[in-house]
Structure 1
């Protein structure tokens, strides 16, 4: 797990390191800072640890220096006691301990069973998706996958890259809601190819049924095993659902586990399938309202991107089809199985690349390789650190920022959701993905409100849905928070930390570069000054999401805290 400052840690040491960093960052305790040593009380005990505080107030701790009540802590042996000290209920602490134990166990399984090359720098995109095994650099449950056994992890986890077949179901037309770009039969013939389509059609005909009364739907084989004995028992017995068998194409898991890449034909769609398991404390099913709206959101974003030449370095992996189980008379939020029996189709990366281009998941930029050098070492050596970073910021930050400032749309461009397209290491453009749940807008801030889709025409309950629960937000501040959280605070800070540790450029210098780029953008767009002022991105402190506090409280509502803002220095300009 070669993340900076973690490469020599055991899995459980890294888990507890990230846990304590989150506790301090989210102001769960009162911390004193004395020359690089942080002290606080937790669970009635005195904690002391060495470390540093970097951009946006992010803590970076040396977990092996931890002392509790004046005694050097053996974290690997006594980590459960640290969990017991947390400001959480006993139920929550038990759940966290289970997640942490599972995370460590699966990391250990990877260490023993997955062979890794000395360097992943030359791997193709699809292989790299599986071999980037570091997981979330902030959340301590970075590989919990609660519900997966070690056998499930081996069969369906991205690290082993084992291909598997999907299960295929026929769903009565009365019990499916779908948004396909073509008529049902034509769509599936195109997606599956003639041989596989005829094979599944033959399986349906063998049940004396036809596509006139049924629709096709894939299911992850793990999900099928979880649901078939209970939740699917009744719909299978009354033939609301019919099991058609396994498909012909093989798939492998991406980093997100639930999004699958076609291993038989790499240019065919990525398929996002719900999994009723928990990873980084979130259940990996699909938000029901977003499934059939995914194509609508994609079309909306594409229209905006294509209308603005300043977004030429930004493109999306279009989510062009969606379908889910639907009980007549119920909404997407109340219909049983709507989040668990569903699919979203997304474009593959490979057809989006031009001649000479390559692609990497953005979070590859945050890691060290086993040779001790950053993944980006060769690129930095070729182009020079400052020149390469300047280009990276131009390509990655400015298009996302322009989409927010000019068009009033916030997306969630964290490390797994962005794909960096490069030519021999030189950043060319960025592709964003996985936005069906997380695109946000504030109606008065939209540049083209007439282009806003009528979401309620597809999901009628959204007409009366509370503001801030879905796509529409009540303030510009919430858009700023989404973008700065995911792009800056929880993503690019990992790059700036790696740059400081590996190349000696301070995090402050890195963020000065970003801040100056944002200032140059403002100077080049005087017509957007009032919109930039509304965003308040140069305030002394900005609000950010408290990912672990929410977990400690056992709350479904978002939690937030204030952090220092490195862009405040530009507030008087």
Structure 2
């Protein structure tokens, strides 16, 4: 049997956690006495009283890039040895409680990665259809050290419900009293249920006689979440009749790499469903924020209207969205809000000859040590030519949505889908934007078309405060795109292409800035580009580790070097 196609398995799970923890601490200013020797390609620093060193350097946006397996700490005798993650955590500037939580999440990350490496068989990921590939890209976040924490999961849960094993399962369904459930559906309720449950709907209807569905409505729940909720307030719901279990029913699903989004296991064109899970993964508890559930269909309709209104999204900047057109939320405003919720999303539709891959597959490494995209680069003229095409196909549509229409989408490796023909980029699909689309009313091209989100959820009413979809400044919109698309996604790809395929990474980013400048000039958007304020000395990015350690709002982001500065500074014109 070949080895797993997982960089974690080769690097070692503990080594990778240590490396990403060190990189994040350096990047977010948690380390002291940092010294970078570019000639020797070494970095030295201190965490508290602990001295550390590693081979590596500093990449675009100031990202520390440490070579695998080279982090060492000085011991009491003055010698150097490889540290365990727990030792580095204890040296971080945080409360004991925050360090304890992080240490537990890192230990869980190592345990699950070790299980993957020892247990799962190798599959040639390049040949997998989209849904299976979406599960098989199991490396996790390339920056966050707790990239596979899944707090609350046992190894049995991981084997049963993790995307790595890709085992299909049916969902338990509940019948919930209608005054305890809000829902937004794209069609008549009976047709919606029938599409999901098929013949099981008749069985369920018989179980509910004589009242049927007049007083209650149906809702699926993740099987792990059902067992979890039974230990809390939901148990009383089952006792007093607000909810009733109906057992497993309907379609079979497989988890995607995001864990809580499930793909239809038998029909790749059927909708996927995103279900609340009270599991901590990377920086977030993976419930569904109750203020972004019922608004999802209205947001999707609006975004799809924007795409349909601009011919460039059908031609030069082809952009397709996977709409989220159905949503359910139980106990709105109560203790279960967000823990019992579901959103249905469309699935990719491909034309003959097309294939689709999650964007973060582009920088994945395969079992033989080559990049996932290596055969594509060889077939299409090398890294520089292929990457230039990727910019046109994947970057410019997201940028055009921001600059021309005033809407920022959180476009990162997990929620972007690249459609290609034999490895040549053709178009991009975006998904999962119900929580992460932002706009500034005065910057939106057609503000009269913005949905009244406050009428759906009162939390959205009132002046923009940067908490929901409405932001106060175009510069804040730019931060979402530069952070997610450039700093933590595209930079992962350019880093690996530079190391493996000779890409001039330092030259790529100014070239990208010039392309963005040309885009603005071609469409008369120069003034709007200046409003984004991305030509300053620094760009603001999220401090993911600091947030994990309980940093306040003033420490939840930091400024990083801006490779666009000389090109996009105020007053520049297209060249």
What TM-score, normalized by structure 2, do the two folds share? 0.94
Structure 1 equivalent of residue 372 of structure 2: 375
Q: Distance in 2 between matches of 1:557 and 1:151?
A: 40
Q: Distance in 1 between matches of 2:342 and 2:206?
A: 22
The equivalent position to 1:290 in structure 2, one of 289, 292, 296, is 292
Structure 2 equivalent of residue 34 of structure 1: 37
The equivalent position to 1:544 in structure 2, one of 541, 546, 564, is 541
Q: Distance in 2 between matches of 1:266 and 1:64?
A: 40
Q: Distance in 1 between matches of 2:554 and 2:192?
A: 39
**Residue 52 (structure 1) shift:** 1.1
**Residue 555 (structure 1) shift:** 4.4
Deviations along 1:114-148, whole A, 9 cap, x unmatched? 1112x311111111111111110000001010000
The equivalent position to 1:200 in structure 2, one of 195, 201, 204, is 204
Structure 2 equivalent of residue 421 of structure 1: 419
Q: Distance in 2 between matches of 1:84 and 1:272?
A: 36
User: Secondary structure of 2:525's partner?
Assistant: helix
Q: Distance in 2 between matches of 1:140 and 1:190?
A: 40
Q: Distance in 2 between matches of 1:553 and 1:44?
A: 21
- Does 2:140 correspond to 1:135? yes
Indicate how the Cα distance of structure 1 residues 100 and 465 shifts in structure 2: closer, same or farther if over 3 A, else same.
farther
**Residue 48 (structure 1) shift:** 2.1
- Does 2:345 correspond to 1:337? no
Instruction: Please say if residues 275 and 342 of structure 2, whose CA atoms lie closer than 8 Å, have aligned partners that are also in contact.
Output: yes
Q: Which moved more, 1:476-485 or 1:370-379?
A: 370-379
Structure 2 equivalent of residue 329 of structure 1: none
Q: Distance in 1 between matches of 2:369 and 2:545?
A: 30
User: Secondary structure of 1:265's partner?
Assistant: coil
The equivalent position to 2:15 in structure 1, one of 2, 13, 19, is 13
**Residue 65 (structure 1) shift:** 3.0
Structure 2 equivalent of residue 489 of structure 1: 487
**Residue 503 (structure 1) shift:** 0.6
Q: Show the 5 A alignment for 1:505-516.
A: 505-516=503-514
Structure 2 equivalent of residue 74 of structure 1: 82
Indicate how the Cα distance of structure 1 residues 400 and 558 shifts in structure 2: closer, same or farther if over 3 A, else same.
farther
The equivalent position to 1:353 in structure 2, one of 341, 350, 353, is 350
Instruction: Please say if residues 184 and 215 of structure 1, whose CA atoms lie closer than 8 Å, have aligned partners that are also in contact.
Output: no
**Residue 554 (structure 1) shift:** 4.9
Structure 1 equivalent of residue 406 of structure 2: 408
User: Secondary structure of 1:415's partner?
Assistant: coil
Indicate how the Cα distance of structure 1 residues 7 and 391 shifts in structure 2: closer, same or farther if over 3 A, else same.
farther
Structure 2 portions without partners, runs of 5+? none
Instruction: Please say if residues 191 and 268 of structure 1, whose CA atoms lie closer than 8 Å, have aligned partners that are also in contact.
Output: no
Instruction: Please say if residues 358 and 416 of structure 2, whose CA atoms lie closer than 8 Å, have aligned partners that are also in contact.
Output: yes
Q: Distance in 2 between matches of 1:157 and 1:301?
A: 31
The equivalent position to 1:166 in structure 2, one of 166, 171, 175, is 171
User: Secondary structure of 1:416's partner?
Assistant: coil
Instruction: Please say if residues 30 and 47 of structure 2, whose CA atoms lie closer than 8 Å, have aligned partners that are also in contact.
Output: no
The equivalent position to 1:94 in structure 2, one of 96, 100, 117, is 100
User: Secondary structure of 1:553's partner?
Assistant: coil
- Does 2:121 correspond to 1:115? yes
Q: Distance in 2 between matches of 1:139 and 1:2?
A: 20
User: Secondary structure of 1:566's partner?
Assistant: coil
Deviations along 1:100-126, whole A, 9 cap, x unmatched? 100000001111111112x31111111
Q: Distance in 2 between matches of 1:492 and 1:176?
A: 40
**Residue 382 (structure 1) shift:** 1.0
Q: Distance in 2 between matches of 1:152 and 1:562?
A: 39
Q: Tell me the matched-pair count.
A: 557
Structure 1 equivalent of residue 158 of structure 2: 153
User: Secondary structure of 1:65's partner?
Assistant: coil
Instruction: Please say if residues 442 and 472 of structure 1, whose CA atoms lie closer than 8 Å, have aligned partners that are also in contact.
Output: yes
Which runs of structure 1 show a deviation greater than 4 angstroms over 4 or more consecutive aligned residues? 1-4, 554-558
Instruction: Please say if residues 5 and 122 of structure 2, whose CA atoms lie closer than 8 Å, have aligned partners that are also in contact.
Output: no
Instruction: Please say if residues 362 and 419 of structure 1, whose CA atoms lie closer than 8 Å, have aligned partners that are also in contact.
Output: yes
What TM-score, normalized by structure 1, do the two folds share? 0.94
Indicate how the Cα distance of structure 1 residues 282 and 558 shifts in structure 2: closer, same or farther if over 3 A, else same.
farther
Q: Distance in 2 between matches of 1:532 and 1:281?
A: 31
Structure 1 equivalent of residue 454 of structure 2: 456
Q: Distance in 2 between matches of 1:187 and 1:560?
A: 42
Q: Distance in 2 between matches of 1:191 and 1:221?
A: 16
Q: Distance in 2 between matches of 1:129 and 1:52?
A: 31
